[in-house]
Structure 1
Amino acid sequence: MKLRGKTMLKPAREVFRKVFFLSYAYHFSGEKQFAKRAIEELSCVSALKNWNPQVFLDLAELTMAMAIGYDWLNDAMTDSEKQLISKAIWEKGLEPSFDTTYNTFLKLDNNWNQVCNAAMVWGAVAVYEQAPEMAEKIISRALESSQLPMEKYGQNGVFPEGVMYWTYGTSFHVLMLESIKNLMENDISTYFSKSFLQSGNFFLHMTSNTGKAYNWSDALELQYPNPAIFWLAKVQKDPTLIWNQIKFFEKGQLKNLKKSRLLPAIILLGADISLNDTAPPQKKFWASKGNNAVVAMRSSWEDSNAIFVGLKLGNAREHHAHMDMGAFVMEAEGVRWSMDLGMQTYYSLSSQKVDLWNSSQQGGRWQVFRNNNYGHGTLTLDDSLQDVNGQAKLIRTGEHESFQYAIGDLTEAYLRKDRQIYRGVAIIKKEQAVIRDEIAASSKPVHVTWRMITPAKAQIKGKRITLFHKGKRLELVLMASEKNTIKVRPALSKNKYDAPNKGISMIEIEMEVPANKAASIQVNLQPLKEHHCLQAIPISLENWGKNTLPDQ
């Protein structure tokens, strides 16, 4: 098992996948060939000198794989195999967790804490009979430590690390709780919070009608079913939480499931939940509360061609965060027209000596195109980075069927604080999306760059931009208070270490705002199902949500 840089996480996860799949297949079929093959994997891992405790996540994934195999395949093992594997779990998995050189995960409040504690608990449960006192110590320690990430779930369940790390951390967290529920005197509900339970709605709304994730922060668009959402649907008695999972299966994307090492857990936790006759969620609008505000709205749950709009506010201080305050995504007609580039692989950057985890204002993390505001669909002032210590706040929302909207205050997201900056996003009459920015007056001029990241081809004609992608069209109409220029260019960086982002373009609107003058930029986006001219009327943010709006 070879290191790639400092980690061997990829092969460790492949061992996990093989062992979990084979162990499940053995129990499901009774065929000993599955057990035999899994035990070979476990024996090979047992023979390793160590499981790379320097990167404790590597060790955690292997410990959990070994625990599953040892527990599920115990009746198919010889005595010598049992001794070899159980000894490896103790010496190479559990014992390093008591070494302060390696166990820093115990004091973290992010997904590392959840994954590592879950793995230690599964390991302890697997070999419980051999050393019950030590196993109980590990379990008690994990329950106490795991309250740290529990506190990070926002007031209504938003996860500050984004949807991909929610899937990772929360799935392992629920697997930890499931593994000990029969050992605990107290009900396991005492070990999770109301916000933790509400995070199922966060995950539900962060998935668009095309099945893609709203991938702000370090995240990918690609989605897989996961144990956490099935567990939450069961605990909350809310089958609508798995609406997107049902759509995943209906689209026949089953070939991708073999890549999910947690698939057996999904099958087991979802066994009591019917995938038939599930009603769509009632709310088409969701907004988080707390320091990392994010908004998602859609015109329909059932229509795959519906309009979906997401707005990211919050800050750049959270673990895995980007300088994406004010960034938006937009879908219509089954196309993600405005996208978030998402994460670049860590190895591709660390291998080029990028100081990726230096998040100071001029740190290496913000020299990465995909991480800074130049690579996001937001505003940039005077060609400068956003403020890593800034905070973009959600100040007002509306959920009317014909006018869904959210307004954020971006003022503190920028290094210069002399101009108030507001961004509103909306869906009007289920027909079009609106992105409106208002820039208050200041004694100093400012250069504003508006960006949208898109996979589409663009055609500019005056103040209209027509996008073409997958046989569909979207029209953008620009209304700005000041003279401006529109450009379309590849989403490229001059840095050799940045991902090439092939086929991705940036629409840029540049505008000079004079001193002592307020300004606005409004862009209306409407799918063109047939040739017609989009009528767009500027609506000031102060009028959003009032009883009457100009006819669109």
Structure 2
Amino acid sequence: MYTLLLLGMLLSADKPYAVDVPAESEILKTLRAEHPRLIATAEDTARIKRLIADDPRAAEIYQQVKRNADRYLTAQTVQYRIIGPRLLSESRKCLEHVYTLATAYRLEGDRRYLERAVKEMLTAASFKDWNPSHFLDTAEMTHALAIGYDWLYKDLDAQQRETIRRAIVEKGLREAEKVYRKQQWWSRTRHNWNQVCNGGITIGALAVAEDEPELARYIVHQAVQSVQLAMREFAPDGACVEGPGYWNYATSYNVYMLAALETALGTDFGLSGFPGFSVTGDFRIHFIGPTKQTFNFADAGSSAGRAAQMFWLARKFNQPLYAWHEREYIGGGSPLHLWWFDGRGQPLGKSGFPTDRGFRYADVVFLRSAWDDPQAVFVGFKGGDNKVNHSHLELGTFVLDALGQRWAVDLGSDDYNMPAYFGNKRWTYYRLATIGQNTIVIDGQNQDPKAVAPVIAFASQPNRAHAVVDLSAAYAKQLSKALRGMALLDRKHVLVQDELEGITGKELWWQMHTRAKIELKGNQALLMQGKQQLWARILEPAEAVFAIESAAAPPPQNPNTGVQKLVVKLPAKTPMRLAVLLSPDRLPEKLPAVEPLSKWIAK
């Protein structure tokens, strides 16, 4: 099954999806003349007013938006404040303020919201620049002012329009033009920077297109070509190699861009047809566990956050399950949750949505006992590529939820402003190095930063699901072969099994980071959080015992307060098999037999 899927991927790669981009001179030919034309038109305003009156959930979201708008009336305006190399926090503040205040004004008609939104935009327009050296800042600020300019266009006076439009052009679009003319790096990359920069700048160009037609045509033409590089990364199944946090960032800007193209031009030029994009919401549904925390591999936090693009994807691709899932997870709601609101869908447990899933390009696997059960067992497990953007040296790592608690935790990212976080000190930081992951460590050494670890087996059956990752390249300097298997047995017990050959190192550590209290009992360990408990039992080798190690990191790193490591320390020998069973509440009466991973692969 897995082999056939891989073969299909390879065959489809010979016929890459192509977008027929119009000539630059024709690309804005269908531009909608009136404002607002970006993402939410005048017709949408009338529709949303009716929706708020008819749908209690939409009304609840609107009340949250309005409460935020009321709060922003007296909030401090955006400031030119650089932290490290970034103005990004201020760009995002401006974006949040403008979307919220402009939404409230369009739906309430209260000029206080209009005046406060204009004040925000004029303040940002007065900045000396929008920090183009870190272009995400520029793209997000361009997006913010473009939405305010477009949505509030008819209520801005001539001077306000001119000031805001000039800022969009000079501080946003002209800076992007320099990048496109020289084909600088973000216009050629395949990760989130591409989608964010192209998305924000496209929205800016569409906002001012009638006044700057030549520049707008050039920007949109370049952006539509450039963004294809990143959108190819959705194939074949919608996953994101940069982790759940950057899935959210990249897909949100991808959707902003496509939504704006559709409302302003009546077409996205076929960009939404890229393989994998229509099902990318599957990835979000799977990476959130029953604790509502994500499998936060790479530079990601464990909070799922909001993802209004799930509503847009639901409507665009007729995926009502995406809408249901987002309504369950958003808590309050954002302006775009309102503009894109979709009330369809049913609980996951009634939908037939698979409990287990392997994502091929990202080499990430998710196993769970059930949907719609906050006590369910959930495992996120990964292979992947240590070279991808925002990666950690964490091939083979996993997280584990059960009984409403997260037992095996991924520590996530650290402070981006630490020295050389994205440079030559990256692999010295605990949270990014192999020592900070739930995987194998040999002699305290990092995995190879260039290693790739493919998922070589995946199976899902009623009473058992499992996957196997080939970690050999990750430890190539220390052994000849390394396989890690992860199995969910009887939809309750989790088996982590490692098989190693040709080991040249001296000591091997098996690691699992946890916030639980740990009691050691030789080859067993009892983990406790509140009234809940998880048992760990070493099945092989017979002589192995558990130990506890610190997960503390020195300043300026996060100290990892409240986290410790459950470890197994073994003198290296070859071949070696290490099998650990993790059981919520209690161990099974009969321990499972340990089978070679070759049998797992054959199943």
Shared fold per TM-score greater than 0.5: yes
Residue 499 of structure 1 is matched in structure 2 by 558
Residue 382 of structure 1 is matched in structure 2 by 443
Query: Does residue 1:68 correspond to 2:132, yes or no?
Result: no
Query: Does residue 1:488 correspond to 2:565, yes or no?
Result: no
Unaligned ranges ≥5, structure 1: 258-262, 548-552
Alignment check: 8 A CA contact 1:284 1:299 kept: yes
Query: Does residue 1:47 correspond to 2:96, yes or no?
Result: no
Query: Does residue 1:208 correspond to 2:302, yes or no?
Result: no
Alignment check: 8 A CA contact 1:154 1:289 kept: no
Alignment check: 8 A CA contact 1:315 1:413 kept: no
Residue 111 of structure 2 is matched in structure 1 by 32
Q: 1:246 to 1:311 in 2, by over 3 A?
A: same
Q: Within 1, Cα distance between the matches of 2:306 and 2:208?
A: 30
Q: Within 2, Cα distance between the matches of 1:154 and 1:334?
A: 33
Q: How many residues align?
A: 521
Query: Does residue 1:264 correspond to 2:335, yes or no?
Result: yes
Residue 355 of structure 1 is matched in structure 2 by 420
Q: Within 1, Cα distance between the matches of 2:346 and 2:544?
A: 52
3-state secondary structure, aligned to 2:233: coil
CA deviations 1:270-294 (Å, max 9, x no partner) are x24426667445201111113x311
Give the aligned CA root-mean-square deviation in angstroms. Answer: 2.1
3-state secondary structure, aligned to 1:199: helix
Matches within 5 A, 1:292-441: 292-347=362-417, 349=418, 354-358=419-423, 363-416=424-477, 418-441=479-502
- Give the Å deviation of 1:2: 1.3
Q: Within 2, Cα distance between the matches of 1:520 and 1:526?
A: 20
TM-score (norm 2): 0.83
Residue 131 of structure 1 is matched in structure 2 by 212
Q: Percent identity?
A: 28
Query: Does residue 1:189 correspond to 2:270, yes or no?
Result: yes
Deviates more, 1:461-470 or 1:537-546: 537-546
Query: Does residue 1:274 correspond to 2:344, yes or no?
Result: yes
Residue 5 of structure 1 is matched in structure 2 by 84
Query: Does residue 1:512 correspond to 2:571, yes or no?
Result: yes
Alignment check: 8 A CA contact 1:423 1:438 kept: yes
Unaligned ranges ≥5, structure 2: 1-79
Q: 1:445 to 1:113 in 2, by over 3 A?
A: closer
Alignment check: 8 A CA contact 2:457 2:600 kept: no
Residue 82 of structure 1 is matched in structure 2 by 161
Query: Does residue 1:522 correspond to 2:603, yes or no?
Result: no
Residue 454 of structure 1 is matched in structure 2 by 514
- Give the Å deviation of 1:183: 4.5
TM-score (norm 1): 0.90
Q: Within 1, Cα distance between the matches of 2:433 and 2:90?
A: 31
Q: Within 2, Cα distance between the matches of 1:538 and 1:187?
A: 53
CA deviations 1:376-426 (Å, max 9, x no partner) are 000012221100111111111110010000011111111426431111101
Residue 478 of structure 1 is matched in structure 2 by 538
3-state secondary structure, aligned to 1:412: helix
Q: Within 2, Cα distance between the matches of 1:418 and 1:275?
A: 49
Q: Within 1, Cα distance between the matches of 2:245 and 2:127?
A: 30
- Give the Å deviation of 1:116: 0.9
- Give the Å deviation of 1:321: 0.4
CA deviations 1:234-289 (Å, max 9, x no partner) are 2221222344323325xxx33xx4xxxxx2122212x2442666744520111111
Query: Does residue 1:286 correspond to 2:357, yes or no?
Result: yes
Q: Within 1, Cα distance between the matches of 2:443 and 2:347?
A: 53
Residue 550 of structure 1 is matched in structure 2 by none
Alignment check: 8 A CA contact 1:482 1:519 kept: no
- Give the Å deviation of 1:129: 1.1
Alignment check: 8 A CA contact 2:188 2:226 kept: yes
Query: Does residue 1:540 correspond to 2:596, yes or no?
Result: yes
Q: Within 2, Cα distance between the matches of 1:303 and 1:4?
A: 42
CA deviations 1:276-334 (Å, max 9, x no partner) are 667445201111113x3110010101111100011110121000000000001111001
Deviates more, 1:136-145 or 1:237-246: 237-246
Q: Within 2, Cα distance between the matches of 1:466 and 1:285?
A: 27
Q: Within 1, Cα distance between the matches of 2:227 and 2:420?
A: 28
Alignment check: 8 A CA contact 1:211 1:244 kept: no
Matches within 5 A, 1:229-244: 229-244=310-325
- Give the Å deviation of 1:110: 1.1
Q: 1:441 to 1:103 in 2, by over 3 A?
A: closer
Q: Within 2, Cα distance between the matches of 1:462 and 1:533?
A: 18
CA deviations 1:326-368 (Å, max 9, x no partner) are 0011110011100100011212x1xxxx21222xxxx311001
Q: Within 1, Cα distance between the matches of 2:322 and 2:355?
A: 13
Q: Within 1, Cα distance between the matches of 2:185 and 2:470?
A: 36
3-state secondary structure, aligned to 1:54: coil
Q: Within 1, Cα distance between the matches of 2:450 and 2:392?
A: 12
Query: Does residue 1:155 correspond to 2:231, yes or no?
Result: no
Q: 1:393 to 1:482 in 2, by over 3 A?
A: farther
- Give the Å deviation of 1:173: 0.7
Q: Within 2, Cα distance between the matches of 1:454 and 1:464?
A: 16
3-state secondary structure, aligned to 2:384: coil
Q: Within 2, Cα distance between the matches of 1:57 and 1:30?
A: 32
Instruction: Report the AA paired with residue 391 of structure 1.
Output: V
Instruction: Report the AA paired with residue 520 of structure 1.
Output: R
